[in-house]
A and B are shown apart, each in its own frame.
Chain A
Amino acid sequence: MTQYITRRILISIPLLFGISIITFLIINMAPGDPLTALLNPEDQLSISVRDVEELRRRLGLDRPGPVRYAIWLKEALTGNLGFSYQTKRPVIEMIIEKLPVTISLMGVALALAVSIGVVFGVLSALRQYSLVDYSLSVVSFFMISIPQFFFALSGMLIFAVWLGWLPVFGMWTAGRDPEVWDVVRHAILPISALMLQDIAVYMRYTRASMLDTLSAEYVLTARAKGLSETLVLWKHVFRNALVPLVTVLGLSLPALIGGALIIETIFSWPGVGSLAYTSLLQRDYPVQMAVLLMGATAVLAANLLTDVAYAWVDPRVRHS
């Protein structure tokens, strides 16, 4: 197992470098001179060309791309991701303070999506080709076809504006200390919108995996032995059918990150998603760069964890 984990980590290192190179290349495509973003507009009128060149040299902006990349990477590895053009604060600090909001939003959405998806997926498989199965399948098609932002706006219109049951946006009622219940009420719409597609994905996946397992020979054997249906399901089917779900968990992260950007923006939640959106509008490239770098690294880490978790529950994987 240790050997397997070491091997997987070693494979990830070149990918990590690749992520940093691509991030660097993309942000370097951005138009405009970083100097103009750095200088006070009023100074730009009075500053001489020689001073600008001097500043450019001092900041290392005259160096060739690969050298700038090396410098940037060295700084990034020590936790310095630069300063925001807009707030002039360290980017890493800005992201870390917003991270808890985004992680809890995504975490709760994922946990709920998996639970709901598995329950309905199992139900669908046990009643294959029934009305329930058929309706759930049509519903799941709707779930993956509705853009998250449209679902969010419709939910706002129905539950917040027309019915008045839920708050329209924000993470808690302004001007009040955040209370648990208040935050929960504010979270219902954003989390519903964020988890909608994942529910469908987990439902379809669970159904397929259940059907595979139900037709496996060991299930037939278990039944032939005369085990009760409950025992067959709990001891033989569920355990084997739900293990492959681990592999889907890691794949959910990229879509969740993209979803968080839209959902946090619509509902004005103070997370990394809205930070990223603001940075897009303000062309705050250091922030965008950090978000891209950290997003990709998170996906890489999630894939690694998924592989290790899968190898742990299914020993066949690590020996192949």
Chain B
Amino acid sequence: MSQETPPDNRPPPAEAEGGAAVTTAQRRTEAIELLDLPPELSPWTRARRRFMSHKLAVLGLAILLNMFLIAIFADFVAPYDPTRNHLHKLLAPPDSLNWLGTDRSGRDTFSRVVYGSRVSLSVGVVAVSIYLAIAFAIGATAGLAGGRVDNILMRFTDLIMTFPSFILIVIMAGILGPSILNVMVIIGIFGWPGLARLIRGQILVQRELDYVIASQALGGSLRHIIRRHVLPNVVGPVSVAVTLGVAGAILAEAGLSFLGLGISEPAASWGTMISNARGIAFIDAAPALWLSPGLSIVLAVLAIYFVGDGLRDAFDVRGSGSGN
């Protein structure tokens, strides 16, 4: 609501450019004002406003930003070193020093939860960056090249999609061994098929649109068309799919670490913490030990889904097939 020019203090149109011909843009602004229509907004402003009016999305974004800050500044947020053993205080219940108690090795649970956000968020972001790159390469090539190339690439995509992804990820993790890098790469190299299909589909749709055909007819180069017309329109659906993908990657890492195949001790990962807490005694012995990382996962994933839903509204994306 800030960029609108109120009708009273608009410059007199005719003299604006030293008495020269009135530009089309000016004439249009004038017409809009006379008709009392809402001002034309750029697609980005419109998207931003729609997003900001989605309350849950704004809440999600706030939670997420906080989590990123905590992850980045974990050294300052966490009261203790997450791997240091306080041997005089094993499996202690929450108190004023250890807000969420300590684990079997006397490590501070709260500090570990704080550092765990680093693992989860970085796995989410890196894994999805890897598969976004693969998906873009395959999807865009297929969509632009068409014909045989398209056919081969899409059959390959179908093929990867027939594998139950979690089983594939778990087996690969077992083969390559537990490490944060392996987890990122494995989730990354098997996550792309849904996104590749989406990008290809979007490109196929864009190719047939009148303004792209017009741009082609006017002699626009492929590069120009892609940058100027195709990419801005693909951004909406892809950003929704990518957001949901980050949530999926965080859940996959948690599951993997829970099974003991993801991030291994002493590094703090939320999934690993839950798995260890279960191994100690029974789940009711020290509920804070696994409830706190568990609720952190739920909060992070929920916040991301809210943001994704906001983006969906903002870009008016309907039913993006992002796979799982």
Contacts and interface: CB of A to CB of B under 8 A. Distances in A.
Interface of A: 14-15, 18-19, 22, 26-27, 29-31, 138, 141-142, 144-150, 153-154, 156-157, 161-162, 208, 251, 253-255, 257-259, 261-262, 265, 276-277, 280-281, 283, 288, 291-292, 295-297, 299-300, 303
B158 interface: yes
A144 B309 CA distance: 13
Q: Is the interface of B mostly helix, strand, loop or mixed?
A: helix
Interface string B144-165: 0000000000011011101111
Contacts of A208: 319
A157 B174 CA distance: 29
B284 A254 contact: no
B294 A14 contact: no
24 contacts: A15-B155, A19-B163, A22-B159, A26-B175, A27-B175, A29-B175, A147-B251, A147-B298, A148-B255, A149-B254, A149-B274, A153-B278, A154-B294, A161-B284, A162-B284, A253-B164, A255-B324, A257-B167, A262-B255, A280-B174, A280-B261, A288-B171, A291-B171, A299-B164
B162 to A, nearest CB: 5
Contacts of A300: 162
Interface residues of B, number: 46
B211 interface: no
A303 B163 CA distance: 12
B163 A295 contact: yes
Nearest to A273: B167
A295 B324 contact: no
Interface string B281-294: 01110010011001
Interface centre among A19, A146, A154, A254 (most CB of B within 10 A): A254
Interface of B: 56, 155-156, 158-160, 162-168, 170-172, 174-176, 247, 251, 254-255, 258-261, 271, 274, 278, 282-284, 287, 290-291, 294, 297-298, 301-302, 305-306, 309, 319, 324
Q: Is the interface of A mostly helix, strand, loop or mixed?
A: helix
B165 to A, nearest CB: 6
Contact of B294 (A22, A147, A255): A147
Nearest to A297: B162
Contacts of B301: 144-145, 147
B113 to A, nearest CB: 14
